[in-house]
A and B are shown apart, each in its own frame.
Chain A
Amino acid sequence: MAKYGMVIDLDRCVGCQACMVACKAQWQTPEDYFRTWVKHIGPVQVKDEMVFTSYVGQCNHCDNPPCVPACPTQATFKDTETGIVLVDYDLCIGCGYCVEACPYDARFINPVTKKVEKCDFCFPRLGEEDPACVKTCIVSAKVFGDLENKDSYISKKISEGNTYVIATKEINPGPNVYYKGRRSKVEAIIKTYPPKKKDTLPAKIWSNILRPFVILGAGATFIGSLVAFLFQINQGEKEGEDEE
């Protein structure tokens, strides 16, 4: 058992976007699509501070990922061994419910494969080397490791304090990507790119109308048939002669 996470040091990050390049090279994503991104933020007024910073974002591998229950086939799931949110490409039908559900816009439908993609902490490299973005970062702003292992470098980084996650009171799915640096920087990110809670119309129709209807209807007819059958047994077998 492990729980992998990441710490991104905003004080170190220079916004060079090398991580975006490394990720793109590793995963060969189409032109306009990124599994990780660097967005330059600022100037943003946070209380009495004027903030410039970079939003280094990716999948947060949340503890309660909203994308997982949104996926009808459970192609998206949280790996119990590593805590990484993964996608089973056999099962993904490219509906994009998870894309809509993700508060961080960390997912996209790959227009070539027609299936969903997102950061998976470079899952195939796990145990051998760090994710591509971590390895390439020129200022070592990204740290990757096991959060449950108290001796790991990442745990030490977090215990140093000054780490925050991108979440609000209303929307906190339990991200496992931590941001280190001045509090105002994280607040600036949240102010510019607030985590969103979205429900798509078909999903709403399904859970509020169609699903109860289907379950009730199928259940009612099934139970109705069953009751009729019990009555029939109770009355004893009649000959098939339904006289008028």
Chain B
Amino acid sequence: MRNELLEKYLPLTPEEKEELKSKKIKKHDVATVFLHWFNMLVWLTELITGAALIVSLNYAFMPKFFTKIVSDIYGTRGNIIRTHIFVGVLWAIVLTLYALFGWRRYLKPTLKEIFGITKDDIGWLKAKFEEVVLGKKVHYPPQDAYNGGQKLFAQVVALMVPVIIITGFIMAFHLLSPSLIRWAIIIHFGAVGLVVMGLSVHIYMALLYPPEQEGFFGMIHGYVSEYFAYHHHYKFWRKKKKGLDKPEELPPKKDLPPIKAGIFLGIVLFFSFYLTGFGLGSSGFVQRTLVAILGAFAPESVKNHSYMGHYWGVYPLWNFLVFMGLGVIAGTLFAMFLAHHKFRFRIERGEKINDFQRLVYAVIGGIIVGFATRVAGGCTSSMALSGGSVFSPGGWLFMIFLFIGGYLGAFFFRRLWK
């Protein structure tokens, strides 16, 4: 292979062609591939159920028989909307996790790439237009990992997806005011419409257009031949070859000093009180999810249980502390990512015990703590923090005795940690 190829796009000699054809180059990460096909499944379900939901005269655009078929499949139209909302929420959660987890590794570089419009991208769009509409023979300028058309579609998707999710949530959960819901409806429809316009071209290009077919398989296993990359995404190929596509590593941040962390936590606690009237809490998360799990097996006996029945309510998971727990998970991951810490499996222990012993003691400690939260009616978050800040007598007693118990325990179990 000639070295000039790395500088300028040149016609290949037959030998080079064979050489490049035999070599594979990584185009997509596993996460991207997974997300793409997950997206496809979600969009398929959402488009079908969504179109079947819009049936009334002023809004419908699918023929009657279509909505009838879908309604028959789902039984009732209520099931259609429930499916639509469930899948949509699932989709939003996965996308959020992807954005939180993969911001630096996947999302930020991808956004940079698709919104980094160059002259060549415009040139590509122009050339495509001239080829398809005017029937001219054209030259395509060298392209990045995504060509001009792909970028345009990706831009539409990247801008519309948050709009679709937000408006969807507004409609599904009747948020804010009815007049806002009215706007959310038409914005939701319009945004989906924009995406669908690009989608049919995207599907045609990927599935049926012969020159792009390698790209289609590339989206399945992540690899394309270098020949394809050279031809279709020259700038991407060059970057790959020169090794310029590695993301830089950032040094992990130290923990906040306790006072700063305390101030931050205090402000969070205050806002929890100010916004909702409730404090922070964690053991309620465990209690409610446990009730939900047990209730899945024996709903009646849990509902009528002298202790657990209290936690049943309308539905045990439809609860402040359960949702706060979900937020805690997301916030933790976000903090980890902002602090440039790596996710790693690990066991932390004192030096005098082995991993297995540590796990056993952790379970024992957990059992004792879990039990204690039920006696006291809360844990460090709800009793000590929330109760402490409103000076509830129980909260302060809990805290004082926690430290007494802790130091007593530490005296007997110091072997575990020294």
Contacts and interface: CB of A to CB of B under 8 A. Distances in A.
A2 interface: no
Interface string A211-223: 1011101101110
Interface stretch (B88-96, B208-216, B323-331): B208-216
A221 B178 contact: no
Interface residues on A, range: 35 or more
B181 A95 contact: yes
Contacts of A225: 200-201, 203-204, 208
A95 B231 contact: no
Q: From DSSP, what is the main secondary structure of chain B's interface residues?
A: helix
B200 A221 contact: yes
B193 A93 contact: no
A73 B55 contact: yes
A12 B250 CA distance: 84
Contact of B210 (A115, A200, A217, A232): A232
A90 interface: yes
Contacts of A206: 58-59, 185-186, 189
A200 B82 CA distance: 27
A74 interface: yes
A207 interface: yes
- Give the one of A71, A74, A210 with max B CB within 10 A: A74
A69 B189 contact: no
B139 interface: yes
B415 interface: no
A232 B209 contact: yes
Interface residues of B, number: 45
B132 interface: yes
A70 B231 contact: no
A222 B186 contact: no
A99 to B, nearest CB: 7
B197 interface: yes
Contact of A93 (B56, B174, B194): B174
A95 B185 contact: yes
29 contacts: A72-B59, A73-B56, A74-B55, A90-B76, A90-B78, A91-B53, A91-B77, A93-B185, A96-B178, A97-B182, A114-B174, A203-B182, A203-B186, A206-B186, A210-B186, A210-B190, A218-B197, A220-B197, A221-B200, A221-B201, A224-B200, A224-B201, A225-B203, A225-B204, A225-B208, A228-B132, A240-B210, A240-B214, A241-B211
Given A90-B81, A95-B181, A224-B201, 18 more contacts: A68-B56, A68-B57, A72-B56, A73-B55, A91-B78, A96-B181, A97-B182, A114-B174, A202-B185, A210-B189, A217-B193, A218-B196, A218-B197, A222-B200, A224-B200, A225-B208, A228-B204, A240-B210
